[in-house]
Chains A and B, each alone.
Chain A
């Protein structure tokens, strides 16, 4: 009996697996729409320079706080301009790059560290488990945004530090999930078989057990992706994330705060961009959970 790992699965089986996944995913209409919306946001981020006629930092001094749809000497401002005359649409398009980039980096960091810690804790048990999980408990005892704020205060404000701080705060969730999944898998027959066949700890942990723990991790990763976008925007809003003039959505909101009663568009559009992106990712997360979690299938 050989161990079942991803690499051993023939391509046909994998295609069948994907077909099954897609069968359940497309049942959720919201998730399919969200996938389309997310793809559009991704394309907008990639092709931002082609889609906007203005640069994100170009200031049009004759069009300060111009309302949406207004036409200036330099072309149309579809979503208006901000207090120093920058085109809001252009800033939102370029801002999408930051938000998506932040989400991806935070999730990758939190996922890789959390999974490794969770694997070690679950696989070895004993004092390794106790030490790792206690540290995770301590991190979880602090409200995430507060801890991220304090980390940023230590590291200094800025987008990179904000990402590191949020990744540190998120990784206990991955560690806990991985540990729980490892505990339920590690006494199964296939793991025993691999062990008897002479696989070492590293191979058992990363090649045998880990691929079978992926479903909850993928769902958690989408959740963290949307939360990371929200939290980085929140840090930006508090002045601790990306610094001006970066067109990060939260930072844009923070700059726009003093104009809320005079120019609604300066505040409305960046927030709407955050909401739509986060909503799309959360809806996709719902779809993924329906498709990946066998307990909830067809319930």
Chain B
């Protein structure tokens, strides 16, 4: 068991090193002189250029630059943003809760709706419910979510005026010592209407972000359930007169959930990609929007740091899913 865990963790190290090389290399392979790129359109005098090149360490051999970069990263130093001049890690950690909140809420939506729909569709295979729900799932899976978000804004914010167009909470609320998790902060502040305001801002972005994972989870649950329902042990359980609800709920569902959990874990990377689009549409102040803004502002230290952090987070989450998978499915562990 421990060997299984350790093996999984050790296996990550080369990939982690690779990720740092990608993040490091990205600024260096940019066409042109990085110092000139960072200086922007104002231009530089030759003296200032030489000074900056030296100051930023671009005159040293590439491997020295890389080991310096790696050393700093290991000490939590991702450099400073060219725009705000604040440490990149600080910026990242300030905005990260917004993305986590959105992502968690979306994931809960996707699981809470997707799993029951998938189970029901499998049990009632071929029924109108199965056909309509799986048809809808395929539409959801094919959805350009940036367009879906715009449609929802037109309907719910434009025509019905139910929800705000952008942001995380109405401007009248402010939590100076907040955790960054707006729902929690609003709840704890005890201010009247704060929680409702936070929820009304969260709901549309969550629906948009949840769309594709919801479709994937519903489809995956259905096919996993169908496979399990044909197994001998389910037939045995049925044959010995067990109530159908128990057969499905205990025997089938527990086994069907194993591949579904992997699918849920794999959605984390998808969620990050989705967050880029969702946050841009709804002006949600999270990591996704920050990355897009940093790329268009040519704020390379931020892009570099963000890229590194996101890749590491996705990897760690995938590792946790892998380990959980080993925990719930002994067959994998002892292979």
Contact = CB atoms under 8 A, between A and B. Distances in A.
Interface in B258-280: 269-270, 272-273, 276-277, 280
Contacts of A286: 138
B22 interface: yes
B141 A282 contact: yes
22 contacts: A135-B18, A138-B18, A141-B15, A142-B311, A142-B314, A146-B272, A149-B292, A153-B298, A154-B31, A230-B142, A233-B146, A250-B144, A260-B158, A264-B154, A267-B147, A267-B151, A267-B154, A270-B147, A275-B147, A278-B142, A278-B144, A282-B142
Most buried by B among A156, A234, A257, A267: A234
Interface string A130-151: 0000110110011111100110
A234 B144 contact: yes
Contacts of A154: 26, 29-31
A233 B142 CA distance: 13
B315 A271 contact: no
B190 interface: no
Contacts of A278: 142-144
Given A234-B144, A240-B295, A264-B154, 20 more contacts: A134-B14, A135-B18, A141-B19, A141-B314, A144-B269, A144-B273, A149-B295, A150-B295, A154-B26, A154-B29, A154-B30, A230-B144, A238-B276, A253-B150, A260-B154, A271-B150, A274-B144, A275-B139, A278-B142, A278-B144
Given A154-B26, A237-B146, A271-B147, A261 B154 contact: yes
A130 to B, nearest CB: 9
A138 B144 contact: no
- Chain A interface main SS type: helix
Given A145-B273, A146-B273, A149-B292, A138 B146 contact: no
Contacts of A226: 142
Interface in B280-335: 280, 291-292, 295-296, 298, 303, 307, 310-311, 314-315
B307 A146 contact: yes
Contact of B291 (A146, A237, A264, A267): A146
